[in-house]
Structure 1
Amino acid sequence: MAGRRNRVAHLLKQLQQASCTCPSHSHTYSQGIGHATFRKTDYAFEMAVSNIRYGEGVTKEVGMDLQNLGVKKVCVMTDKNLCQLPPVKAVLDSLTKNGINFQLYEGVRVEPSDQSFMDAIEFAKKEEFDSYVAVGGGSVMDTCKAADLYASSPESDFLDYVNAPIGKGKPVKVILKPLIAVPTTAGTGSETTGVAIFDYKELKVKTGIASRAIKPSLGIIDPLHTLHMPERVAANCGFDVLCHALESYTALPYNQRSPCPSNPMNRPAYQGSNPVSDIWAIHALKIVAKYLKRAIRNPEDKEARANMHLASAFAGIGFGNAGVHLCHGMSYPISGLVKKYKAKDYNVDHSLVPHGLSVVITSPAVFTFTAPMCPERHLEAAEILGANITTAKIKDAGLILADTLREFLFDLNVDDGLAALGYSKDDIPSLVKGTLPQERVTKLSPRPQTEEELSALFEASMKLY
């Protein structure tokens, strides 16, 4: 009897294997556990991006967008510097013209802190807005995302949604209010992403919140707004675009990232390099190579600044889904542990290493380190940035990309390494300590790193030239 059952089971298995498996004809299904359960690494990636609208003068439409949504009370967030500039005026004029009831919050801190996030959150909770408009760079957009999130989840503690291991990293299950982002810089790509970054003062390090749920509903990319960026602001924002593209293109592939999520809701926003993100990263890198120097050197070059504005969004789509790795992971303590350095062209009353500068300063050392894991990609990036690779050896990819980056940065007057920002070798243990909790990004490096290797990377970044 048992033998007969076994033969029947064997026959059914053979029939199942031989049957057509195309969606039109297959009627088989399995009650077994899905294959994802047995995998250690992921097998899928997901693209999530805000709606994007681009065009010169398109900011005038924001009031109509809010009118179309039927909103009753709008929070407009910006910072004190931008309040005096045309981008904010253009937004407020559009809201007024279309009869939108709004309140202006101008308390955003450039390079926001946990406290400045919480101040904006309290304002949002108190006023009970039904929509948000962020007018500014990454600091403004990220602050607005956080305000929207916690006002929509008023019972949550601040650390509930902050990335682990610093926070609890809980998935966002609440429905947020509509958020329209109007970027005024060409760097962060925050109008496309579900990421909000801040300085966590207790640990003197940057961290953030990462969830597809917090990405803006709409990004309004108006190239006229970038004409107001001072020279160093344009440079440092451009360096952020450069590293977004390089890091997402060289990140650990999505199907090598672990763990494999048991539920798609648990798949992180930063998933590893993938075929779709690769396209956006490479295209952004090509625009950077062609237009960044022009955009920095001539604020009136509308073509260059408009293209860099697009490159910021393109790189945002790429890294917003693939992620970044060591340049960003190491940048967070560089910004968080700042001593007396104050960047030129930033009208702030506190010490500041701008985000793009803190990211790019380690890039030659980082890409020398990561190149052995995917040398072809590093060599391709070097060629896009202007290197002659006709006689290049694949084993030299990292050195070639590093030299290309050094030449690029020297030409654009970047400070000569971490030492020029006020750091010394004595600071390296603190910088490493601040990098270790950044697992959300450091684990996407194609090459795993030890504490000793991180120390060596910081030491190699003390001087660039």
Structure 2
Amino acid sequence: MNETVFTYGAPSLKFGLGASDELGHDLAALDARRVLLVTDPGVAAAGHPARLAELVRAAGIEVEVFDRVHVEPTDVSLEEAVAFGRDTGPYDAIVAVGGGSAIDTAKAVNLLTSNPGELMDYINAPVGRARAPRNALAPLVAVPTTTGTGSESTTICVLDVLSLHVKTGISHPRLRPTLAVVDPRLTMSQPPEVTAAAGMDILCHALESWTARPYSSYPRKKPEERVPYCGANPVADMWAEKAMTLLAASFRTAVRDGGDEAAREQMALAATFAGMGFGNAGVHIPHANAYPIAGRVKDFRPAGYPQDGPMVPHGMAVSLTAPEAFRFTFEASPERHLRAAELLGGAEGAEGPDLLPRTLARLMRDIEMPNGIAAVGYDEGDVGALVEGSLKQQRLLATAPREVGADDLAGILRGSLELW
């Protein structure tokens, strides 16, 4: 018997210009007396965490700050943050100020200061032991300063396991933030390169959840067996479709003119909507491929990001195989792929399976994304290792609308060496 039930979850949301000014009030409403604020050095240098910490203190709440989040978190960086939280706690609530790296780090700190064990106990199988938390977590308030990851809406914490050269994650409903405070003004200082990469993450969140395997195609599950990524469903579809509409109107403008307040507001809303969609329906092939592309980086150093080592930013890594991935999935739901291309403005002279890939490639050229995985340091000889890494992301590949094996992934990756 196939599934007849889908689940939907989302944090409470406070959205709008100046929303972050009310953080002290929001934490007091959660009965917080002592909180840990988690951020990264770049965001700290921009001044947002210090300003927000003072607002919280003015509300009579004690604040401890951890400002050593690693951009693109690793098991080592998360363990450092967890040790800080354990040594300085307990806390009544956790506040994350930053992009997905800060929010995901805060999720790990919250998990492991509320529950026993170590990081690998909770990391998804087959990399980790996929243990579920036994204890409730503290309230987590996410204040994003980038428009892209959607981590403020999701149940996922993403990290690199350095010793294995693999990107993986922790997934459980209890990781979802209690409250998302989305203030578009906090994104105004985001460099154009970060806006571009993070925006491609928004777009792929929307596209992958929109084209995901329908929830009704899965075998019926017991309530305790249902996972956060339940497949495409009517509620997630609504958020994904609206996110694409907003992106079509604002993405290029936000990259070209970061000071355009209206474009920034639309991008922030698109990121939130896409997060509410994929945080329930799930993502699939582009995200599965992104993990080894980012995890096995050689010497690529993107403009606009801290230069403390080679990295392929997550949103960039996701985008690089998206055109070929959607060419592969087209036959599973042609009408959805064509509708997505229509929402994004289409591409002249393209039709059928080529329309969405060509539409994406045109957008990626306009915002100066790299021209395929060769542009970030990979070649034909790397395809086998990248396929191996993608195959470890079975939680994501299970959401794909078509069954995808090693040969399929190899074809997608080879086709993604150069996109135009």
Query: TM-score range, shorter-chain basis?
Result: over 0.9
2:11 aligned with 1:50, yes or no?
yes
Q: CA deviation at 1:397?
A: 2.8
Q: CA deviation at 1:157?
A: 3.0
The answer for the alignment partner of 2:136 in structure 1 is 175
**Equivalent residues of 1:60, 1:90 under 8 A apart:** no
Q: Which of 297, 306, 309 does residue 347 from structure 1 map onto?
A: 306
**Equivalent residues of 1:59, 1:90 under 8 A apart:** no
**Equivalent residues of 2:347, 2:359 under 8 A apart:** no
Q: Secondary structure at the match of 1:104?
A: strand
2:295 aligned with 1:333, yes or no?
no
Write the distance in 2 (CA, Å) between the matches of 1:150 and 1:157: 7
2:375 aligned with 1:416, yes or no?
no
TM-score by length of 1: 0.88
1:171–1:265 CA distance, 2 compared to 1 (3 A): farther
**Equivalent residues of 1:181, 1:216 under 8 A apart:** yes
For 2:48, give the aligned amino acid.
P
**Equivalent residues of 1:203, 1:434 under 8 A apart:** no
Q: Secondary structure at the match of 1:202?
A: helix
Q: CA deviation at 1:274?
A: 0.4
**Equivalent residues of 1:125, 1:151 under 8 A apart:** yes
Write the distance in 2 (CA, Å) between the matches of 1:398 and 1:200: 36
The answer for the alignment partner of 1:402 in structure 2 is 357
Write the distance in 1 (CA, Å) between the matches of 2:143 and 2:21: 11
For 1:120, give the aligned amino acid.
A
TM-score by length of 2: 0.97
Q: CA deviation at 1:275?
A: 0.5
**Equivalent residues of 2:372, 2:419 under 8 A apart:** yes
Greater C-alpha Rg: 1
For 1:166, give the aligned amino acid.
V
Write the distance in 1 (CA, Å) between the matches of 2:33 and 2:365: 51
Q: CA deviation at 1:89?
A: 2.9
**Equivalent residues of 2:347, 2:358 under 8 A apart:** no
1:352-363 equivalences under 5 Å are 352-363=311-322
Write the distance in 2 (CA, Å) between the matches of 1:415 and 1:265: 42
Q: CA deviation at 1:267?
A: 0.8
**Percent identity for Structure 1 against Structure 2:** 39
Write the distance in 1 (CA, Å) between the matches of 2:389 and 2:257: 37
The answer for the alignment partner of 2:100 in structure 1 is 138
Write the distance in 1 (CA, Å) between the matches of 2:15 and 2:418: 39
Q: Secondary structure at the match of 1:228?
A: coil
The answer for the alignment partner of 1:147 in structure 2 is 109
Write the distance in 2 (CA, Å) between the matches of 1:376 and 1:432: 28
Write the distance in 2 (CA, Å) between the matches of 1:65 and 1:233: 29
Write the distance in 1 (CA, Å) between the matches of 2:62 and 2:346: 53
For 1:205, give the aligned amino acid.
V
Aligned length: 419
**Equivalent residues of 2:289, 2:390 under 8 A apart:** yes
Q: Which of 257, 261, 269 does residue 221 from structure 2 map onto?
A: 261
Query: Cα deviations across residues 137-163 of structure 1 (Å, max 9, x unaligned)?
Result: 00000000110011100x223222211
Q: Which of 268, 284, 289 does residue 309 from structure 1 map onto?
A: 268
Q: CA deviation at 1:348?
A: 3.2
The answer for the alignment partner of 1:462 in structure 2 is 417
Q: CA deviation at 1:388?
A: 6.4
Q: Secondary structure at the match of 2:159?
A: strand
The answer for the alignment partner of 1:278 in structure 2 is 237
Q: Secondary structure at the match of 1:208?
A: strand
2:331 aligned with 1:369, yes or no?
no
The alignment yields a C-alpha RMSD, in angstroms, of 1.4
**Equivalent residues of 2:33, 2:60 under 8 A apart:** no
For 2:113, give the aligned amino acid.
A
Q: Secondary structure at the match of 1:350?
A: coil
Give structure 1 regions of 4+ aligned residues with deviation exceeding 3 angstroms: none
2:165 aligned with 1:165, yes or no?
no
Q: CA deviation at 1:419?
A: 0.7
2:74 aligned with 1:74, yes or no?
no
Q: Which of 275, 279, 283 does residue 324 from structure 1 map onto?
A: 283
For 2:305, give the aligned amino acid.
Y
**Equivalent residues of 1:340, 1:422 under 8 A apart:** yes
Moved more, 163-172 or 339-348: 163-172
Write the distance in 1 (CA, Å) between the matches of 2:325 and 2:32: 46
Q: Which of 326, 346, 351 does residue 387 from structure 1 map onto?
A: 346
**Equivalent residues of 2:347, 2:355 under 8 A apart:** no
Write the distance in 2 (CA, Å) between the matches of 1:418 and 1:204: 17
2:405 aligned with 1:444, yes or no?
no
**Equivalent residues of 1:49, 1:193 under 8 A apart:** yes
1:196-211 equivalences under 5 Å are 196-211=157-172
Unaligned runs of 5+ in 2: none
